[in-house]
Structure 1
Amino acid sequence: MTLKTLRVGAVQVRRMIELAEGQWERSTIERALVSYGWARPADESGGVVVEWGGGPGSPHFFGRAPGDERVGWRIELGGGPTGPEDHSSYVRLPCALFWPAFGEEPADADPDDEDELDGQYGDDWARLPDAARADFHAEYRRIGALIRAELGEPLEVTEGELDEYTESWHLAGLRVTLCRTDDLNSYSHYDVITLGVGPARD
């Protein structure tokens, strides 16, 4: 069993909350991403090098060293924001990965089993190769405490099967979510913790 984290701290949490506190418009979000160093301008026209609509299957990577194709810091982007009623739009920051997925932590785990995708992940990821699922939960609680320091207690808490768990905070038509779920980017090889921002649904 393994845990990988991106060392998400108060700075990253504050930046995501700032996205929910501003105008939910594409140009506003893109300017914020550039100011964070999470995206770069395309040219003098003000365009930004991000691909909206890629979601988990085609995330936007940032902060990688030139030539390093391993997975590092990334954001998952829904459709380009057009306003607070655009429920197809979101920005998600993956924070941690746990293997095996689907809430599993077999009591009789084979010590020879390996996380065969580990080599695809770069040095941005801190590794705990002998972690238990309790460590994954502890990382969720640690990030949740950082959000609570900014926004107080969540408005909603939802629990699903296979260790899924989501807390949501609402801010003027937008919401911040901390989610523990299946990692679609790795084709469900991992469970993932994501910190997301997007329009709140009724």
Structure 2
Amino acid sequence: MYSMYMYTISLHRLAITHTIVVGRMTQVKREHAVRLILNINRMAIHRMADRAPRDKILKLNVGGVFYTTAKSTLTCVYGSYLWKIATGDLYVMRDEKGSLFIDRDGYVFRYILNFLRTNRLIVPQGYKELHMLKEEAKFFGLEDLSSQVDKVIKSRNRKPRPRLSRRLSRSWGSDLTKISTDENGSVIFEDEGSDFFYD
């Protein structure tokens, strides 16, 4: 039906243009025909714009923190909680301003939204609420985010390897007998033939 409409518009344009070029019209009729062509073009442009897919803007109120995002961002993970909200499969209340209300941690949601936009976990270095972010990711049904958070948590839980001192014992070699740490966590290498035990 849409292509038939465009075909009809093209025929009208062609007929009017042909009539103008051939010169069978008076000046007044020519001006009227040109206006008619412009109107037909405008109608076609508006019709095509109506048919083009629109990315709807959604306003969210997450635990009192407000976010604005595109519907395509919320629907990028099929079947997730946010996908269901954006597609209308799940009803959520609206606040007094008309924003979709989600009763979750609003500050942690920032990282969830960034994950949906980039498909990567982006948090500041030393971010301390990773366990909360993991819980929120589970709630929203974002398994990839949850596993990425898990990897970061595991890497932070690994015990750091002791650092070797820059100044070691003078007689580094086969007579090295003891490795220990002092109260500051510095590694001490002790050997039998040296008086230097720490850095």
Which of the five TM-score ranges fits, normalised by the shorter chain? under 0.3
Richer in strand (by share): 1
Higher relative contact order (CA 8 A, sep 6+): 1
Compute the TM-score of the two structures, normalised by the length of structure 2: 0.22
Larger radius of gyration: 2
